[in-house]
Structure 1
């Protein structure tokens, strides 16, 4: 499941992922991305993982399509989690986007929020 959470920046999408993400979860993000792009801004994404176990097949495919289509539209991505594989995924993403991507441990989530909203 993917829940939208609030942050204050106009160009920041903040989400909390738990369990497995499905296609419907990823589709929630599309209008948010386009609303930011329509304002002429780049997207910042705060992605917190809480008992997150990954994607089902259709969710993974939808996520890959979205990330590929918007690779140049992201400015910053903060990945927040508590598992080694989540940190690995952050490293794996770097060659596929121009965004600055950082991984934060779950106990650093306030630092991650500050970083994603900073200039």
Structure 2
């Protein structure tokens, strides 16, 4: 049996004295994935209690969105945009550089693309 994994995992990593909000995106995202993650994300953001959030988005296992989920992603970006200081997109997708440039138009902070985890973390914590 072939199991199709998809969804968004949210966590907080402490690196030195900084809190980094971490998104791990897996598979092809659905509208249901965003409905499930929204309350978790709201709770996590209250726990971080930061005006300016640093975020790592790991897309190494991401394969795309269903149409409604792409809209959900856009809405989520608008909801978080004013609180984001830095967003590092980490993965090996050929489109992620363009996504970071376009995404940067909708947030108040910086968004950059990285091919390796360590470079992304160094930029976020600099």
Fold similarity call, TM over 0.5: yes
- TM-score, reference length from structure 2: 0.76
Alignment partner of 1:109 is 2:121: no
1:2 alignment counterpart: 8
Q: State the structure with more CA Rg.
A: 2
The match for 1:32 among 38, 44, 58 is 44
In 2, Cα distance between equivalents of 1:24 and 1:30? 16
1:22 alignment counterpart: 30
2:59 alignment counterpart: 49
Alignment of 1:19-98 (within 5 A): 19-26=27-34, 27=38, 28-36=40-48, 39-98=49-108
Question: Which of the pair has the greater relative contact order for Cα pairs under 8 Å at 6+ separation?
Answer: 1
1:11·1:41 contact (CA, 8 Å) conserved in 2?
no
Residue 86 of structure 1 and its aligned partner are, at CA, apart by 1.8
In 1, Cα distance between equivalents of 2:46 and 2:68? 21
1:15·1:47 contact (CA, 8 Å) conserved in 2?
yes
1:81·1:87 contact (CA, 8 Å) conserved in 2?
no
Aligned to 2:108, the other structure's residue is in SS state coil
Instruction: Give the aligned CA root-mean-square deviation in angstroms.
Output: 2.1
Indicate the structure with greater helix content: 1
Q: Which runs of 5+ in 2 are unaligned?
A: 1-6
Aligned to 1:84, the other structure's residue is in SS state coil
